[in-house]
């Protein structure tokens, strides 16, 4: 009986070590996307090629005054049934560590980078103070702190996406400062 208990204990330790090493290996491996580091804690979005290239071109061609090089994040909005709006925005993570982009669990692959991705409904339904949200059934009475950001002439790409994988999938309808 003691031998069986000892054998089971040893097997449990071996299995635990093997499982933890497997978990560590999957988070340390690089995925196939141009050396982009895998991160199993994030939801990864891959936009149509034309959109990814357009975002990359904008970011790499943007000339900043002095040596200011901001971090970028993306805002995705649904415009119509199959038309999406992707807004490229910049921010300084160290200046505002509670910014939505820092707290997002979504990232978009742009070339060999992963940029934080937020949705329009993050602003509509999200709160900046997750602790003080009021009582159940009384939240709409001014208890929830909301934050809406005003974007003045951001670089925006309108494109066809969604479940429509036909001939126009990924087609950029327009891009520029809107």
- The full set of domain ranges for the chain reads 1-30, 43-177
Determine the Cα–Cα distance for residues 64 and 141; give it in Å rounded to an integer: 43
Determine the Cα–Cα distance for residues 118 and 105; give it in Å rounded to an integer: 9
Determine the Cα–Cα distance for residues 178 and 170; give it in Å rounded to an integer: 19
pTM for the model stands at 0.70
- pLDDT value at position 76? 95
- Higher confidence at residue 26 or residue 50? 50
The predicted-structure confidence for 110-168, as pLDDT tens digits, reads as follows: 999 999 999 988 888 888 788 888 888 888 767 788 777 787 889 999 999 877 677 88
């Amino acid at each position: 009986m003691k031998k069986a208990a000892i054998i089971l204990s040893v097997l449990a330790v071996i299995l635990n070590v093997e499982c933890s090493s497997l978990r560590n290996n999957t988070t340390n491996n690089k995925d196939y996307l141009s050396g982009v580091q895998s991160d199993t804690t994030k939801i990864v979005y891959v936009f149509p090629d034309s959109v990814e290239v357009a975002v990359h071109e904008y970011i790499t061609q943007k000339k900043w005054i002095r040596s200011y090089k901001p971090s970028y994040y993306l805002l995705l909005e649904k415009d119509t049934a199959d038309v999406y709006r992707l807004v490229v925005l910049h921010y300084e993570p160290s200046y505002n560590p509670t910014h939505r982009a820092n707290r997002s669990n979504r990232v978009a692959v742009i070339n060999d980078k992963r940029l934080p991705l937020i949705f329009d409904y993050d602003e509509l339904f999200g709160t900046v103070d997750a602790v003080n949200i009021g009582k159940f059934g009384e939240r709409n009475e001014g208890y929830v702190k909301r934050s809406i950001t005003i974007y003045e002439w951001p670089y925006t790409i309108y494109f066809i996406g969604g479940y429509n994988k036909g001939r126009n999938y990924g087609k950029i309808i327009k891009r520029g400062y809107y």
